[in-house]
């Protein structure tokens, strides 16, 4: 039976395999996604962060080390939160176990809301966008990464075990649930076009600032062959949005 979001990370075999992959310094997360995420976040001194899908808490530890005043991490995986609690013990951090969709932090206000590779697990992203808008202070920013729509629309060959000598993008304009056969499990993700991502946030209170498509940088790769493979197709999208006024919200 396909697993939704955090359910996969609470499967022990899946979780251990995931941790092994993340420990690789040449993982796509470290060579393609994180460098651009850092670039779009910029200076963090004196800022209050909310991280939606905080995972193991290591990124929160980095933000606090750079001068963030407080880090609030949210995740619904018991396995992930156990690691996050250990990583952030004694730090100016709060951890909250909850699905992102049902999170209630109505008494909080944040300078920055971030999310790393979690929004493609969310079925109703419009509702989440409105919630995020309400959590940001008047000058707040939203920075998040997702699997690139080229990836979420190319699971067909991947699920058949076809090696990616070439890429097959299919049903790109048919948004909705996709099943990714990933690390021994069937995982539910949600495909949206690039246009849809723009519309969802522009129509729900955000002003677009910039995006990156995770173009690889040669200096971050130890293996030129791996660099050349990563340069064939974008794996991630990283967005930065500014909170617009209340009048920008779609009624």
Q: Which CATH architecture has domain 3-148+193-248?
A: 3-Layer(aba) Sandwich (3.40)
| pLDDT value at 247 more than 60 | no
Mean pLDDT, rounded, for 181-199: 94
- Indicate the pLDDT class of residue 237, thresholds 50, 70 and 90: very high
- Spell out the residues 6+ positions from residue 205 whose beta carbon is closer than 8 angstroms to its own: 129, 130, 133, 243, 244, 245, 246, 248, 249
Q: Give DSSP secondary structure letters for 221-238.
A: -S-HHHHHHHTTS--EEE
Tell me the per-residue pLDDT of 50-68, one tens digit each, with 9 for 90 and over.
999 999 999 999 999 999 9
- Indicate the pLDDT class of residue 191, thresholds 50, 70 and 90: very high
Sort 174 into a burial class: Cβ within 10 Å, 0-12 / 13-18 / 19+.
Answer: exposed
Q: What is the dihedral of CA 82, 86, 92, 98, to 10 degrees?
A: 0
Tell me the per-residue pLDDT of 171-189, one tens digit each, with 9 for 90 and over.
999 999 999 998 889 999 9
At residue 160, the pLDDT reads 67
Distance between CA atoms of residues 117 and 224, nearest Å: 25
Q: Residues, the chain, total?
A: 251
- Indicate the pLDDT class of residue 248, thresholds 50, 70 and 90: low
**How is the chain split into domains, by residue range?**
3-148+193-248
What is the average pLDDT score of the chain? Answer: 93
Mean pLDDT, rounded, for 219-230: 94
Tell me the per-residue pLDDT of 3-54, one tens digit each, with 9 for 90 and over.
888 899 999 999 999 999 888 889 999 999 999 999 999 999 999 999 999 9
Q: Which helix (H) or strand (E) holds 12?
A: helix 12-22
Tell me the per-residue pLDDT of 209-218, one tens digit each, with 9 for 90 and over.
999 999 999 9
- Spell out the residues 6+ positions from residue 177 whose beta carbon is closer than 8 angstroms to its own: 123, 188, 189, 190, 191
At residue 27, the pLDDT reads 94
At residue 88, the pLDDT reads 98
Rounded to 5 degrees, what are φ and ψ at 71?
-125, 125
Distance between CA atoms of residues 13 and 93, nearest Å: 29
At residue 168, the pLDDT reads 84
Structure-token match 């251990």, residue found: 16
At residue 209, the pLDDT reads 98
Distance between CA atoms of residues 4 and 18, nearest Å: 16
The gap between the terminal CA atoms of the chain, to the nearest Å, is: 37
Tell me the per-residue pLDDT of 123-169, one tens digit each, with 9 for 90 and over.
999 999 999 999 999 999 999 999 999 999 998 776 666 655 667 88
């Amino acid at each position: 039976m396909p697993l939704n979001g955090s359910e996969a990370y609470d499967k022990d075999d899946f979780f251990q395999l995931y941790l092994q992959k993340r420990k690789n310094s040449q993982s796509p997360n470290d060579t393609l996604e994180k460098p651009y995420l850092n670039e779009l976040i910029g200076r963090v001194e004196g800022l209050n962060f909310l991280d939606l899908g905080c995972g193991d808490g290591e990124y929160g530890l980095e933000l606090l080390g750079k001068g963030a005043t407080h880090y609030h991490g949210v995740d619904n995986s018991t396995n992930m939160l156990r690691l996050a609690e250990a990583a952030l013990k004694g730090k100016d951090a709060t951890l909250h176990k909850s699905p992102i969709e049902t999170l209630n932090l109505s008494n909080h206000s944040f300078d920055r809301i971030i999310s790393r590779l979690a929004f493609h697990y969310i079925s109703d992203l419009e509702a989440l966008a409105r919630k995020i808008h309400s959590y940001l202070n008047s000058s707040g920013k939203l920075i998040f990464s997702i699997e690139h729509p080229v990836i979420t629309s190319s699971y067909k060959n991947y699920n058949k075990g076809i090696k990616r000598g070439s890429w097959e993008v299919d049903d790109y304009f048919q948004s909705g649930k996709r099943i990714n056969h990933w690390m021994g499990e069937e995982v539910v993700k949600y495909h949206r076009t690039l246009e849809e991502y723009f519309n969802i946030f522009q129509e729900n209170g955000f002003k677009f600032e910039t995006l990156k498509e995770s173009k690889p940088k040669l200096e971050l790769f130890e293996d030129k062959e791996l660099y050349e493979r990563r340069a064939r197709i974008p794996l991630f999208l990283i967005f930065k949005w500014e909170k617009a006024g209340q009048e920008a919200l779609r009624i």
